[in-house]
């Protein structure tokens, strides 16, 4: 392994991640799993869906992460009456030129926070298909490309809650991760209360967040992540896990090849964040659940039993032999 360690210099990435954690930690108490996955997605160039009940700092964490990067940021609040043109933009007639001009919508930014994404109906959700996958918007026969980096961070309330819609499978498949945010522990909640007691407002604390990364630095670090080594036997391991979701008798819909690529890219980013330039099977195991949980549909019988996709993924991982 010593030969691997000097192959790629990951010291800058390691320090950058540590600095971002410090900035996020000025406000966010706990939620280490969410922060780790958000950072992994950032360097893997993948969109993230964050699910949790209201009040567990989903939106706040996404806003703080965006502030640590020197890029443009937009927030879109999804509502039942939101139209596709409200997100993507629309053509407006210009009397001076006697022609239509495209006015870009709020999706045209580097980091876009979509708050409560499952409050909007399917017509508005489908407007995101092209821009999330191909990083472009087509309007009136013209194609408008997004400026890199382009990252969608979307929050959603659990689908059992009032006034929410299930996201289309094709849209869910475009998210690298689905992060499920849990309630803080008692000790963490006590620390949260102390933090709120000691400062007047969150807005005051947000002003202390420093930008750590520029666009150019992010692009360079992502290139290093792409160079991370992965052995053929680990690639086969990824393919076996994803393939098994298509053969499970407990699943109505398994994961697509896009999921395999997502698990590959995410594993390389996680390895780099941990200071390694090679992927281990443990990296794959750690990320299998957030990569796959939103891409699977349980059979009606298993859904009625209260089984979760997470439980099925765990069974699949235990079933497949780990490469050594």
- CB 237 within 8 Å of CB 284: yes
Please check whether residues 58 and 175 belong to one and the same domain: yes
CA distance 269 to 45: 9
Residue 4 located in a structural domain: no
Q: What is the CATH number of the domain that holds 96?
A: 3.40.50.300
Residue 39 lies in a domain: yes
Instruction: Examine the domain organization and report whether 285 and 150 are in the same domain.
Output: no
Q: Are 198 and 232 in the same domain?
A: no
Q: How many domains would you assign to the chain?
A: 2
Contact of 261 with 238, CB cutoff 8 Å:
no
Nearest-CA neighbor of 294 among 172, 181, 176?
172
Pair (199, 238) in one structural domain: no
Pair (71, 178) in one structural domain: yes
* Res. 203: pLDDT tops 70: no
Does residue 236 sit in the same domain as residue 153? no
In a domain, 249, yes or no: yes
Cβ within 8 Å of residue 187, ≥6 positions away: none
- 194 shares a domain with 140: yes
Examine the fold and report which residue of 218, 244, 261 is the final residue of a domain before the chain moves on.
218
Pair 50, 185 in one domain:
yes
The bridge status of strand 69-70 relative to strand 99-104 is unpaired
192 and 53 belong to one structural domain: yes
Average pLDDT of span 26-46: 89
Q: How confident is the model at residue 62 (pLDDT cuts 50, 70, 90)?
A: confident
Task: Let me know: does 46 contact 6? Beta carbons within 8 Å.
Answer: no
- What are the residues whose beta carbons fall under 8 Å from the beta carbon of 302, sequence distance 6 or more? 250, 251, 312
Residues 188, 64 within the same domain: yes
pLDDT digits 0-9 by tens, 8-31: 888 899 899 999 999 988 888 778
- Residue 3: inside a domain, yes or no? no
Mean pLDDT, the chain, rounded, equals: 88
Is 180 within the bounds of a domain?
yes
Asked if 248 and 298 touch (Cβ cutoff 8 Å), the reply is no
| CATH for 261 | 1.10.8.80
- Listing DSSP states for 247-310 in one string gives H-TTEEE---HHHHHHHHHHHHHHHHHTT-SB--HHHHHHHHHHHHTTT-EE-HHHHHHT--HH
Same domain, 206 and 61: yes
Q: What is the pLDDT of residues 128-175, one digit of tens each?
A: 999 999 999 998 788 999 999 999 999 988 866 667 788 888 899 999
* pLDDT reported for residue 3: 45
Final residue in a domain of this structure, among 193, 218, 243: 218
Q: Is residue 101 part of a domain?
A: yes
Residue 5, in any domain of the structure: no
**What does the chain come to in residues?**
324
Q: Is the pLDDT of residue 197 over 90?
A: no
| Contact call for residues 184 and 56 (beta carbons, < 8 A) | yes
Beta-bridged to residue 49, according to DSSP, are 154, 178
- The residue segments making up the domain with residue 267 are 228-324
Of 218, 252, 277, the residue that ends a domain is: 218
Q: Is 174 helix (H, G, I), strand (E, B) or coil?
A: coil
- What is the share, in percent, of the chain residues with pLDDT greater than 90? 58
Residues 157 and 92 placed together within one structural domain of the fold: yes
Residue of higher predicted confidence among 53 and 141? 141
Global pTM exceeds 0.95: no
Is 2 part of a structural domain of the chain? no
Q: Are residues 38 and 74 in contact, defined by beta-carbon separation less than 8 angstroms?
A: no
């Amino acid at each position: 392994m010593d030969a691997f360690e000097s192959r790629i210099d990951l010291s800058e990435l390691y320090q950058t991640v540590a600095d971002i954690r410090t900035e996020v930690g000025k406000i966010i108490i706990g939620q280490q799993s969410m922060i780790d996955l958000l950072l992994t997605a950032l360097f893997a160039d993948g969109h993230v869906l964050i699910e949790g009940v209201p009040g567990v700092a989903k939106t706040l964490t996404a806003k703080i992460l965006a502030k640590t990067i020197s890029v443009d940021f937009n927030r879109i609040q999804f509502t039942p009456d939101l139209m596709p043109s409200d997100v993507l933009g629309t053509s407006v007639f210009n009397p001076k030129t006697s022609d239509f001009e495209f006015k870009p919508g709020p999706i045209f930014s580097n980091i876009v926070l979509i708050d409560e994404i499952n409050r909007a109906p399917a017509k508005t959700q489908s407007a995101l298909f092209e821009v999330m996958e191909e990083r472009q918007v087509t309007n009136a026969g013209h194609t408008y490309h997004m400026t890199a980096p382009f990252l969608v961070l979307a929050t959603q309330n659990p689908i059992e809650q009032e006034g929410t819609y299930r996201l289309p499978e094709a849209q869910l498949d475009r998210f690298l991760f689905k992060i499920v945010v849990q309630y803080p522990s008692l000790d963490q909640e006590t620390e949260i209360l102390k933090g709120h007691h000691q400062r007047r407002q969150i807005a005051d604390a947000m002003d202390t967040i420093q930008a750590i990364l520029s666009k150019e630095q992010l692009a360079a670090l992502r290139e290093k992540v792409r160079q991370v080594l992965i052995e053929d036997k680990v690639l086969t391991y990824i393919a076996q896990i994803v393939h098994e979701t298509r053969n499970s008798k407990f699943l109505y819909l398994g994961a697509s090849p896009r999921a395999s690529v997502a698990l590959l890219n995410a594993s390389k980013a996680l390895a780099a964040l941990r200071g390694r330039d090679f992927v281990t099977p443990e990296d794959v195991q750690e990320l299998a659940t957030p990569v796959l949980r939103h891409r699977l549909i349980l059979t009606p019988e298993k859904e009625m039993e209260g089984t979760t996709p997470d439980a099925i993924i765990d069974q699949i991982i235990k079933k497949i032999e780990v490469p050594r």
